[in-house]
Chains A and B, each alone.
Chain A
Amino acid sequence: MKSEPLVLGIETSCDETGVGIVRGHTLLADAVASSVDQHARFGGVVPEVASRAHLEAMVPTIQRACETAGVQLSDVDAIAVTHGPGLAGALLVGVASAKALALSLGKPLYGVNHLAAHVAVDQLEHGPLPEPCLALLVSGGHSSLLRVTDVTGHEGGVDPLGATIDDAAGEAFDKVARLLGLPFPGGPHIDRAAREGNQVAIDFPRGLTSRRDLERHRFDFSFSGLKTAVARWVEARQRSGEPVPVADVAASFQEAVCDVLVRKALDAAAAEGIEDLMIGGGVAANSRLRALAEERAGKLGIRVRVPRPGLCTDNGAMVAALGSTMVARGRTPSPLDLPADSSLPVTDVLAG
């Protein structure tokens, strides 16, 4: 047990300053400082506000993680950091801090991909990841279907089958929440409002599910048409002077999103002959997505793994978890001139 590597992971790709510490697959600390409240009145994350907050939160969050884990920085065997994709200025704060740690401690540095880290985090909750597995990653910044045969990305180990062609799923939640007068970020508020509503009250469109779309975009997503359909429906209601049934709109919208996500994920799993579906990213915290995935996957004999909500949203533990796998599999550490790459492709899991 003692031989398992102690890894500290740093995540600053969006508005959460995350520092996690793991030993092997065991989570020791997951300290997160969020600047979400500072962005709420802007209805979305403001990059400069996020970057400033990361600088202020960085060292205190490292400190808090070490205290929670009961470890000294000098005990750490390796440093891992998200170096993309994400907001360039925000990523840079974490990358620079990770380099300073690696340099000062004389320990290896692993620059890793944020998306693969969302997959790797599940190991902290459910043990070693079955490989291959199919990963559905859904958040405010990404919506992807990945075929994962090696989460460290070795030899094409992370293969994108599909992605959103316009808005991310979480973005659609934020925009619809705003239409309904619900606060930012929209996900949890829509989820809550939807519990009181009827999910079949309004038949909102399921993007890229028509036969023609499926030919070219079988595993891709589109949420922009859905968002516009909700806006039209709400506006028509307001114009006619009738009250907007917020709970029904929320439930019907959420159902449309979850239906498409689950349908495409299971179709991909079946097509690839994969029996394990992993769902990650902030939208994986949505209660209906979890329920629908389990209900439908069960009928197909596909197992579903979803980390607990706190591990689905952006955090440092997920980066540490992927870093720990890098160490365990003997991957080559990244150089000190590692860049932050805001548009890092999902296939590039480790910076070389």
Chain B
Amino acid sequence: MLLAFDTASPTVTVALHDGSDVVASATATSAMRHGEQLAPLVAQVLEQAGAKPADLTAIAVGVGPGPFTGLRVGLVTARTMGHVLQVPVHGVCSLDALAVEAVETGTVDGDFVVATDARRKEVYLASYDREGRRHHDPVVDRPAVLATDRPVVGEGAALYPDAFPAGRAPLRPDAVWLARAVASRRVDVLEPEPMYLRRPDAEVPRSPKAVLPDAVPGP
């Protein structure tokens, strides 16, 4: 049994695949709060399928790019479960899961891009061929810089229609397709390392501020 989940978007999504297809899945009803929602959803999906953690043979996890805090919840959960259960953990670029779903559900029929919300008025973006194979590593930049008339899958087009006029579904990663993509080897499997694409915000402090009033030049 393959357990798959993604926390790289505001939606937490979990699915269980038995080797032939997805047998149970669940998506969080409220956005965000990944840390609260992921574990109960995993428990729920296992229960739905009448499975136990010990039945798992592999874990697939979306490695982003996406908001860091949620991303880490998914990755640390996957790594910890993989360690406890002694099963492999497959990382999947979250944009790839969207691309596979778009190709398989027929919302695209040629080259296309996937663009998701990177916050700070930027998007994460990668381009794909008609089979859903990624051309390059994902990038992060302002929509105006990455603007394209090609079909755009993912929330980026809904947020920035001026830059991406040809938007379409799906909008956020769905673990059902993440599981299918890994089970059918439709995507490159990566290490379970987060795709941050940005360095941490951190400033080296300047020397301490003066606390005395400036010295007045004497007469």
Binding site for B on A (CB under 8 A): 41-44, 46, 48-49, 51-52, 54-55, 58-59, 62-63, 73, 88-89, 92-93, 95-97, 99-106, 178-179, 228, 231-232, 235-236, 239, 335-340
Contact = CB atoms under 8 A, between A and B. Distances in A.
A52 B200 contact: yes
A337 B80 contact: no
Interface residues of B, number: 38
Give the interface SS of chain B, mostly helix, strand, loop or mixed. Answer: helix
Interface in B24-48: 33-40, 42-43
B72 A51 contact: yes
Interface in B64-80: 68-69, 72-73, 75-80
Contacts of A96: 35, 38-39, 72-73, 76-77, 80
Contact of B68 (A51, A236, A338): A51
Contact of B75 (A55, A178, A336): A55
Given A92-B73, A103-B81, 13 more contacts: A43-B204, A43-B205, A51-B69, A52-B194, A92-B34, A96-B35, A96-B76, A101-B84, A104-B81, A106-B53, A231-B208, A236-B212, A339-B33
Contacts of B137: none
B2 to A, nearest CB: 15
Give the interface SS of chain A, mostly helix, strand, loop or mixed. Answer: helix
Contact of A55 (B37, B76, B83, B200): B76
Contact of B204 (A42, A63, A92): A42
Given A95-B35, A339-B35, A89 B69 contact: yes
Contacts of B205: 42-44
A42 B203 contact: yes
Best-buried of B53, B69, B76, B194 by chain A (most CB within 10 Å): B76
B37 A58 contact: no
A63 B69 contact: no
17 contacts: A48-B202, A52-B196, A52-B200, A59-B80, A89-B72, A93-B76, A96-B80, A100-B84, A103-B42, A228-B211, A235-B210, A235-B211, A336-B40, A337-B36, A337-B40, A338-B36, A339-B36
B119 to A, nearest CB: 13
A96 B53 CA distance: 16
Contacts of B84: 73, 100-101, 104-105
Nearest to B78: A100
Given A89-B72, A93-B72, A99 B77 contact: yes
A337 B53 contact: no
Contact of A48 (B78, B83, B200, B210): B200
A84 to B, nearest CB: 12
B163 interface: no
Nearest to B203: A42
A55 to B, nearest CB: 5
Contact of B76 (A46, A100, A106, A338): A100
B35 A104 contact: no
